[in-house]
């Protein structure tokens, strides 16, 4: 228990530092680039991120699902790096071809800028696979450290370029690509990857398993980012520049939630299914406390600081965060439930809810963006995220037999979190 607590504190510290560095980087970019330029850079990065999310074939979820099978663990570790680079290269190449064909119709940025961003796709997919292996092997600190070093390089480069007046949209994208190379290098040098010949049989098994889960993963990503593409098509780069900053700041509210989820993932897969359900319920109770605290904190803090820190051009961001943050933190808090369903039930238990939520999100965005613009995106996303979380809770209750009341925090859960926070201080 002491080791887990120390690991959680270490991860939280690394994430907090990454958060501070990310905040500094976002301020530098916002102060150096107008909302239109910020929207252009963010769309280029979003295209590359979409290539990662839609093209990684859910291999990391397949790793998680196959991990209880002890004989294949060594092969899963050996395959993670070559699979990441190979699949990521294919996904990045397809993305460049696709945007070359659709750029005009989708109001996307310059093809050269988009191609540069897509150079980061194989790096990002490799980091995704390697970080997941680190979590499954109980090395959550390594995953956090890799993220931290990427943030250090990204923030340092952006600050240097911003202070010298050399920061441009293209250089922001180049720095983003470099920030993906650093975590990959960190994982390699720290032994996050097993550097030995890959196992083709396990690779085929992993990809086949991942493809069964991939519709849900792709839908989950599209649920989070389809609104940006729709907003860009309807309202242009300026609206994307405002909304993308709101998304970035709202997602900072997930810091403690994601950290707890990652730190406790191995525990959910170390026990029998019955014990895993009880562990998942206990983790979820802590998640509810963190969701409430994180949601209130991010809304209050950003309402006070957005305009003084980012400038008058971004004054509308605070109101959008108030609409978006509740959905973001609630969805993040459901991750333990999704992990349990992934372990114990067929892929449709995670795929179908995500697909339905995506359809709901797209429909709501099509209705609300023409009326409310970026604020409409925020409302649509929160409603879709909350609906998906409600379905995931219902499925967990049905599958595990645990009452939904046992997912609500008790006085003892709140006291335990307070005790750990005092210990950190």
The percent of residues in the chain predicted with pLDDT above 70, rounded, is 89
For the residues of 360-374, what is the DSSP string, one character each? HHHHHHHHHHHHHTH
Structure tokens of 374?
């970026």
- Within the chain, how many helices (H) and strands (E) appear? 18, 0
**pLDDT score of 8 more than 90:** no
Reported as a single tens digit per residue, the pLDDT across 39-91 is 999 899 999 999 999 999 999 989 988 888 888 888 999 999 999 999 999 99
Reported as a single tens digit per residue, the pLDDT across 294-319 is 999 999 999 999 999 998 999 999 99
Q: E strands of 159-278, at which residues? A: none
Tell me the domain boundaries of the chain. Answer: 2-424
Structure tokens of 17?
């530092």
Q: 2: pLDDT confidence band, cut at 50, 70 and 90?
A: very low
Of 134, 140, 121, 149, which Cα lies nearest the Cα of 60?
134
Predicted confidence at residue 424, as pLDDT, reads 43
For the residues of 53-114, what is the DSSP string, one character each? HHHSTTHHHHHHHHTTSGGGHHHHHHHHHHHHHHHHHHHHHHHHHHHHHHHHHHT---HHHH
**pLDDT score of 15 more than 80:** no
Predicted confidence at residue 377, as pLDDT, reads 94
The answer to whether the CB of 240 falls within 8 A of the CB of 47 is no
Q: What is the DSSP letter of 50?
A: H
Reported as a single tens digit per residue, the pLDDT across 344-393 is 666 677 778 888 999 999 999 999 999 999 999 999 999 999 999 999 99
Question: Can you give the pTM of this predicted structure?
Answer: 0.74
């Amino acid at each position: 228990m002491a080791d887990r607590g120390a690991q959680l504190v270490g991860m939280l510290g690394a994430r907090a530092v990454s958060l501070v560095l990310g905040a500094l980087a976002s301020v530098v970019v916002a102060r150096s680039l107008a909302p239109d330029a910020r929207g252009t850079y963010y769309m280029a990065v979003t295209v590359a991120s979409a290539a990662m999310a839609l093209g990684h074939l859910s291999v990391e979820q397949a790793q998680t699902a196959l991990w209880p099978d002890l004989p294949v663990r060594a092969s899963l570790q050996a395959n993670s790096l070559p699979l990441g680079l190979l699949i990521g290269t294919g996904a990045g190449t397809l993305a460049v071809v696709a945007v070359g064909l659709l750029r005009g119709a989708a109001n996307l940025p310059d093809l050269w800028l988009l191609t540069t961003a897509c150079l980061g796709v194989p790096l990002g997919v490799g980091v995704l696979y390697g970080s997941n292996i680190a979590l499954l092997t109980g090395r959550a600190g390594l995953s956090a450290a890799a993220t931290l070093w990427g943030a250090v390089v990204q923030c340092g480069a952006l600050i240097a370029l911003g202070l010298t007046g050399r920061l441009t949209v293209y250089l922001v994208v180049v720095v983003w690509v470099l920030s993906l190379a650093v975590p990959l290098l960190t994982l390699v040098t720290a032994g996050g990857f097993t550097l030995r010949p890959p196992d083709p049989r396990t690779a085929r098994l992993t990809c086949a398993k991942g493809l069964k889960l991939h519709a849900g993963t792709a839908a989950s990503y599209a649920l989070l980012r389809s609104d940006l593409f729709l907003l860009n098509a309807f309202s242009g780069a300026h609206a994307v520049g405002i909304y993308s900053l709101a998304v970035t700041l709202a997602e900072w509210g997930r810091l403690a939630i994601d950290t707890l989820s990652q730190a406790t993932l191995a525990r959910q897969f170390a026990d029998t299914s019955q014990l895993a359900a009880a562990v998942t319920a206990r983790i979820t109770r802590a998640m509810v406390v963190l969701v409430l605290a994180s949601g209130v904190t991010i809304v209050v803090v950003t309402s006070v600081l957005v305009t003084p820190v980012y400038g008058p051009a971004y004054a509308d961001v605070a109101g959008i965060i108030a609409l978006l943050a509740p959905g973001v933190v609630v969805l993040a808090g459901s991750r333990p439930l999704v992990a349990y369903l992934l372990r114990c039930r067929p892929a449709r238990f995670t795929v179908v809810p995500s697909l339905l939520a995506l359809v709901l999100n797209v429909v709501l965005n099509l209705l609300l963006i023409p009326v409310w613009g970026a604020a409409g995106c925020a409302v649509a996303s929160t409603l879709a995220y909350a609906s998906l979380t409600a379905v995931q809770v219902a499925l967990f209750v049905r599958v595990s037999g645990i009452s939904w009341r046992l997912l609500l925090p008790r006085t003892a859960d709140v006291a335990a979190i307070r005790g750990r926070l005092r210990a950190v201080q």
